[in-house]
Amino acid sequence: MLKAGALFVTYLPTSEQVRHISDVASEFDSVVAVDNSPPDSAVDPGSFGPGIKVVLNANQGGIAGAFNRAIEVLLDEGVEHVYFFDQDSLIPHAYRKGMEEALKSAPPACLIGPRIYDVNLRAFSPRYNVSRWHYRADDVSQEDNAVLPCTLLISSGSVATRQALEKCGPFREDYFIDDVDTEYCLRAGTLAVGVYLNTGLVLSHAIGDREEHRFLGMRVRPSHHSALRRYYRSRNGIHLSSRQLVRSPAFFVHNQKRLAHETIGVILYEQRKLKKLVGILIGIFDGLVGRLGDLSRSSPRLYRWLTTK
């Protein structure tokens, strides 16, 4: 079995989350925990188990920066398969074994993700396939127990081969957090790197505090993300979909539908509506003009306003 390493991104982790990361470390040949907590609240590296390398990143480059710092360490150690996890990822028994089996049927340069179970909606995420003119979200049964080609994955629970990471290069740190994994998957598709869904493995995951409502016969799923996340989600979605307009008008249209859906959810069901709507509007403008990066650096006053309760 080729050498496999896991990376965990933490932000103000609880002692239970730190303990869980330490417990699963033995499943992998190398483990890196990148703590994105503020410097004055950074995790104590000694709180992790032996053998876990801890990088205190202080949120430099956001989640993309954390990914890049960990990947650098893991590839330098000779790891061939890199697994991505959040601090709250509950990793099923024999998860690595199931993914390694899937990797045997995939090309050397590939990304593979599990079926995602949304713990808030109590439903499975679909399999996303995007072409020039079509955006499909198809339900997948676990009984399929197959490795299926797809277009988009979320980073949590996914695995990337060394060849894929070397072909695609680093994650975009100017995106900071939202759509970092979406951009990477779309980039992989343009570089002949395979993207697959392993239907035989399931990882539970929470996307914000999402819930489901019905309004005038329409399904609305507010996620209750913060005003700051609303800014990043709208900014990065606009920027990414605009860059994909020629290659995939379908993806461009889907992103605008997603943005409209999220805005409706904010208006109807979420708290702090004004700040969230302002964040969305400024995010749209910044996405159109290409003003990216960490908002706390590019616009400190706006950052403080969005994050002040």
Going by C-alpha positions, the residue among 82, 86, 92 that lies closest to residue 34 is: 86
- Asked which of 177, 205, 233 is the last residue of a domain, the reply is 205
If asked whether residues 230 and 201 sit together in one domain, one would say no
The mean-pLDDT minimum among 90-99, 235-244, 254-263, 274-283 falls in 90-99
90 pLDDT tier (thresholds 50, 70, 90): confident
Task: Tell me: pLDDT of 1 over 80.
Answer: no
Q: How many structural domains is the chain composed of?
A: 2
The mean-pLDDT minimum among 18-22, 261-265, 274-278 falls in 18-22
Return the percent helix, strand and coil in the chain, to nearest 5: 45, 20, 35
If asked whether residues 171 and 281 sit together in one domain, one would say no
* Start-to-end C-alpha separation, the chain: 50
207 pLDDT tier (thresholds 50, 70, 90): confident
Q: Which two tokens stand for residue 83?
A: 């697994």
- Asked which of 205, 233, 249 is the last residue of a domain, the reply is 205
If asked whether residues 73 and 168 sit together in one domain, one would say yes
The predicted structure's pLDDT at residue 172:
98
Task: Tell me: pLDDT of 89 over 90.
Answer: no
**Contact indicator for 239, 178 with CB cutoff of 8 Å:** no
If asked whether residues 93 and 241 sit together in one domain, one would say no
Over residues 196-206, the mean pLDDT reads 93
The predicted structure's pLDDT at residue 84:
98
Give residues with Cβ within 8 angstroms of 56, minimum separation 6.
35, 39, 42, 43, 45
By DSSP bridging, strand 159-161 and strand 81-86 are antiparallel
If asked whether residues 46 and 183 sit together in one domain, one would say yes
If asked whether residues 143 and 12 sit together in one domain, one would say yes
User: Which domain, by its residues, includes 196?
Assistant: 4-205
If asked whether residues 21 and 63 sit together in one domain, one would say yes
The predicted structure's pLDDT at residue 118:
92
If asked whether residues 196 and 69 sit together in one domain, one would say yes
142 pLDDT tier (thresholds 50, 70, 90): low
State the residue for tokens 């993700």. 113
If asked whether residues 41 and 91 sit together in one domain, one would say yes
56 pLDDT tier (thresholds 50, 70, 90): very high
If asked whether residues 82 and 131 sit together in one domain, one would say yes
If asked whether residues 137 and 164 sit together in one domain, one would say yes
If asked whether residues 53 and 178 sit together in one domain, one would say yes
The predicted structure's pLDDT at residue 49:
83
Question: 132 to each of 136, 249, 251, how far by Cα in Å?
Answer: 11, 6, 8
Cα dihedral sign, 136-181-164-6: negative
- Asked which of 149, 180, 205 is the last residue of a domain, the reply is 205
Over residues 92-118, the mean pLDDT reads 95
What CATH number is given to the structural domain containing 71?
3.90.550.60
Q: Which two tokens stand for residue 292?
A: 């990216």
pLDDT tens per residue, range 215-230: 999 999 999 999 999 9
